[in-house]
Amino acid sequence: MIDDYDKTMELMHKMEAQLPIPARPTAAFFRSVQKKGIRVTRDQQLQIKHLVYAGDEGGIMCDVTLSRDAKEALLVSITHLRIDPRHPLAREIRAYQKERTKRLTQSGGLREPHSYTIRPRKRGRG
């Protein structure tokens, strides 16, 4: 098991009370979205707007969709975001990131980030 489920849920509830949370992309996240043609600068401030727990496979996933008019949501693991060290939850988030990264490395998990895009379903007429 990668995450301690109870601790992870506790952190998520604390984070949800603080949304939106400013974050910056890691180098790996930057490279990943650039390959997909998504324009993000290395130091661009992103806003974590929503959280989803994707189990051990994905951990805490953050919605950092770039604009209100975006046609796709952009979700990324919190391990691929840098939180401002002055944020009230920065230490707890960083501890989660370190522990998750350590456990993923030990289990032979992926090193490069995976981002998920979600396209709205087309509604049928009915």
Q: Give the tens place of pLDDT for each residue, 55-106.
A: 988 899 999 988 777 777 788 999 999 999 999 999 999 999 999 988 888 8
Q: Spell out the residues 6+ positions from residue 117 whose beta carbon is closer than 8 angstroms to its own.
A: 36, 72, 73, 74, 75
Domain regions of the chain by residue span: 5-118
Give the predicted TM-score (pTM) of the model.
0.80
Q: Spell out the residues 6+ positions from residue 108 whose beta carbon is closer than 8 angstroms to its own.
A: none
With contact defined as beta carbons under 8 Å apart, do 15 and 52 qualify?
no
Which phi and psi angles does 19 have, rounded to 5°?
-65, 145
The Cα-based distances of 96 to 11, 64, 83, 101, 119 in angstroms read 9, 19, 12, 8, 29
